[in-house]
């Protein structure tokens, strides 16, 4: 009976998302129902996490088909940490939405698409089947296609065409790769894949398939050199959509890499994982260069997604229990802080009436609270102790140093400084100095509240690292030894 | 038979890639449609083409048709069908609002 719990984080948003389609003309009802649903889902995810951490992982064999034949959902430690993080983001997004989602957006099905996105992301985190992962990718992408064009402005159409085409291409590549893997191993169940890859005679083919899968996830996660679609397409939609994309979408790519390259493709570490470290290093460099190259506030934040993904990939490439823990810690931290920064950037752009940093200045007088929150968020992002970014980066860099990846660690340190510079530039440009132009509108309270919650969580993750770290370490330990996962799912 | 199917899938991939490298939006959309056809045929071929055999797996029976690739293709076809129709509408709206369907003119500046 308990195993049905695994299905709830997907079912609740899916069901209510579909239901809310009927209420698109009833603004009040939609907002209220959505808030309750988000709270309900948050409660369920807390209970699920508590259950998994106290009694062990849960699986749901849908339709009673035993693994590896049926589609299975697996809630292990890593999955529930991610589910919990997703629902925190969803909760704060619902708070932010109170003042930022216009009647027109609700009429154009913002809330149904929002819940479909949450359902797709949760499904991707919970599935134990590679083909099913593709299906949930499509669910979340389909929702994101809908969200990105809400508003229907000229440049939204222009950028979303590129976003959709690229994602469509990588999805086709994903299916093709699954077909390759199926022909070599005869299964799409992740646990059975993990078991069978060791028995395949021609390991070269497997490495090739592994790299193809990496290309798919790298496109979703915006790694060098497949990042070019990200910055522009993330800044065109409404700030709440940007925040959801920045916090959730690229992280699904990272999670998939974390899962696939620990469970299935960990047989040829010296080739694949060394390659990852180089890609991670280049991604960090290109990301910060991008962030420094522009004076568009939203674009600076969007470019800052990339070095963060680089950091996480560095942890996967290093492949030790410590660095994987660092990756998970950084993943959760980055979801919270990216959402907060996108929220704050959106508030700032509304306040100033422009996204050009050169036209801003002196807003600390008109919006002091937002200014200081932005400052703290910048420190958290760069990884200044005692905030959460520091813990993640410390684990990642120490892991990389221990394994002798000095160049990557050095680039990581340097890029952290440049990240700090790029974000503090917004603080200095927008909040210091004389007031250049009168603000266009006052800061929206619910937006500030949502950012404050996320910043508080980030501070808590940093200051209270001693409480959270054991859970993250436990999740990383189960990743480094895939046999635990395999035995559990296949019940041997 | 597998070899013929592989060649067909490969040709579809080649034509699809050629089309998505074009500048016109509609050609790119058609290219993605061809690519997904190629991928679907490819999945079918990867499960080994076995004619006239039952799609079941009972212990002791060695000769059977693998039902899984067909289930996978069906899912994948439905998804690509939905995405393609969405993409066609989006391409039309993009053309309407931007007054062009050439990719090299669909560029933006930083200050928007």
DSSP readout, A398-458?
HHHHHTT-HHHHHHHHHHHHHHHHHHHHHHHHHHSSS--S--SSPPPHHHHHHHHHHHHHH
Contact assignment for A131 to B75 by CB distance below 8 Å: yes
Q: What is the pLDDT of residues A3-54, one digit of tens each?
A: 889 999 999 999 999 999 998 888 889 999 999 999 999 999 999 999 999 9
Candidate from B79, B93, B111 with C-beta closest to A356 = B111
Residue predicted with more confidence, A64 or B9: B9
Candidate from B40, B47, B94 with C-beta closest to A158 = B94
Contact assignment for A355 to B111 by CB distance below 8 Å: yes
Residue predicted with more confidence, B84 or B66: B84
Q: What is the pLDDT of residues A354-402, one digit of tens each?
A: 888 888 888 888 889 999 999 999 999 988 888 888 888 999 999 999 8
Residues of B in contact with A176 (CB under 8 A): 39, 42-43
> Which pLDDT score, from 0 to 100, does residue B112 have?
53
Residue predicted with more confidence, B59 or A233: A233
> Which pLDDT score, from 0 to 100, does residue A342 have?
95
Q: What is the pLDDT of residues A145-186, one digit of tens each?
A: 999 999 888 888 998 999 999 999 999 999 999 999 998 988
CB-CB neighbours of B76 under 10 Å:
25
Would you give the DSSP letter of residue A245? I
The arithmetic mean of pLDDT across residues A330-353, rounded, is 93
Q: Does B30 touch chain A (CB under 8 A)?
A: no
> Which pLDDT score, from 0 to 100, does residue A217 have?
94
Phi, psi of A381 (to 5 degrees): -60, -40
Banded model confidence at residue A201, pLDDT cuts 50, 70, 90: confident
- Counting the structural domains of chain A, the total is 1
Distance CA A431, CA A341 (A): 15
Distance CA A234, CA A265 (A): 31
Quick one: what percent of chain A has pLDDT higher than 70?
100
> Which pLDDT score, from 0 to 100, does residue A30 have?
92
Please give the residue range of the domain that contains residue A379: 2-490
Banded model confidence at residue A448, pLDDT cuts 50, 70, 90: very high
Q: Which two tokens stand for residue A123?
A: 């499904």
Shortest distance between the Cα of B19 and any Cα of chain A, in A, equals: 12
Contact A451, A99 (CB under 8 A): no
Cis peptide before A225 (omega within 30 of 0): yes
The arithmetic mean of pLDDT across residues A205-218, rounded, is 92
Quick one: what percent of chain A has pLDDT higher than 90?
62
**Is B2-52+64-98 a domain of CATH 1.10.287?**
yes
The arithmetic mean of pLDDT across residues A300-321, rounded, is 92
Residue in chain A nearest B81 by alpha carbon: A168
User: Is the four-CA dihedral A231, A234, A238, A239 of positive or negative sign?
Assistant: negative
């Amino acid at each position: 009976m308990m195993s049905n719990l695994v299905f709830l984080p997907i079912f609740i948003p899916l069901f209510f998302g579909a239901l809310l389609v009927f209420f698109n003309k009833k603004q009040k009802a939609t907002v209220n129902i959505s808030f309750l649903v988000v709270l309900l889902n948050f409660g369920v995810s807390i209970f699920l996490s508590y259950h998994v951490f106290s009694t062990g992982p849960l699986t749901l064999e849908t339709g009673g088909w035993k693994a590896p034949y049926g589609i299975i959902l697996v809630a292990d430690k890593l999955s529930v940490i991610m589910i919990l993080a997703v629902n925190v983001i969803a909760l704060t997004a619902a708070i932010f939405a109170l003042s930022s989602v216009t009647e027109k957006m609700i009429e154009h099905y913002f809330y149904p698409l929002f819940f479909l996105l949450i359902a797709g992301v949760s499904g991707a985190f919970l599935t134990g089947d590679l083909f099913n992962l593709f299906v949930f990718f499509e669910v979340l992408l389909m929702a994101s296609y809908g969200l990105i064009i809400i508003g229907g402005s000229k440049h939204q159409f222009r950028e979303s065409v590129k976003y959709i085409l690229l994602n469509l291409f990588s999805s086709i590549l994903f299916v093709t790769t699954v077909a390759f893997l199926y022909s070599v191993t005869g299964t799409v169940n992740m646990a059975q894949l993990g078991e069978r890859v060791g028995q395949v005679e021609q390991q070269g083919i497997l490495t090739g398939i592994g790299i193809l899968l990496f290309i798919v996830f790298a496109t979703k996660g915006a790694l060098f050199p497949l990042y070019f679609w990200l910055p522009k397409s993330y800044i065109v939609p409404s700030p709440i959509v940007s925040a959801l994309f920045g916090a959730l979408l690229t992280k699904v790519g990272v999670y998939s890499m974390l899962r696939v390259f620990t469970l299935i493709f960990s047989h040829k570490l010296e080739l694949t994982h060394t390659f990852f470290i180089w890609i991670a290093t280049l991604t960090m460099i290109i990301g910060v260069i991008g962030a420094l190259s522009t004076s568009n506030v939203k674009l600076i934040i969007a470019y800052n997604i990339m070095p963060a993904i680089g950091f996480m990939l560095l942890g996967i490439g290093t492949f030790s229990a410590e660095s994987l823990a660092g990756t998970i810690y950084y993943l959760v931290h980055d979801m919270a802080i990216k959402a907060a920064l996108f929220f704050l950037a959106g508030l700032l752009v509304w306040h100033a009436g422009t996204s050009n940093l050169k036209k801003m200045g002196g807003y600390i007088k008109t919006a002091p609270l937002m200014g200081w929150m932005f400052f703290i968020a910048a420190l958290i992002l760069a990884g200044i102790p005692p905030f959460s970014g520091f813990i993640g980066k410390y684990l990642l860099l120490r892991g990389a140093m221990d394994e002798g990846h000095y160049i990557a660690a050095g680039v990581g340190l340097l890029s952290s400084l440049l990240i700090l510079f790029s974000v503090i530039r917004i603080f200095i440009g927008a909040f210091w100095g004389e007031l250049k132009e009168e603000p266009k509108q006052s800061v929206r309270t619910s937006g500030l509240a949502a950012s404050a919650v996320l910043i508080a969580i980030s501070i808590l993750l940093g200051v209270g690292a001693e409480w959270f770290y054991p859970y993250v370490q436990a999740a990383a330990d189960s990743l480094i030894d895939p046999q635990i996962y395999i035995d559990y799912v296949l019940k041997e | 038979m597998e070899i013929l199917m592989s060649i067909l899938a490969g040709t579809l991939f080649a034509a699809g890639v050629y089309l998505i490298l074009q500048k016109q939006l509609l050609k790119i959309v058609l290219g993605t449609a061809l690519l997904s056809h190629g991928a679907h045929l490819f999945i079918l071929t990867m499960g080994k083409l076995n004619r006239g055999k039952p799609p079941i797996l009972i212990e002791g029976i060695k000769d059977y048709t693998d039902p899984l690739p067909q289930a996978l293709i069906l899912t994948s076809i439905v998804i690509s069908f939905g995405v393609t129709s969405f993409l066609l509408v989006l391409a039309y709206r993009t053309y309407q609002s931007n007054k062009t369907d050439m990719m090299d003119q669909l560029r933006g500046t930083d200050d928007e």
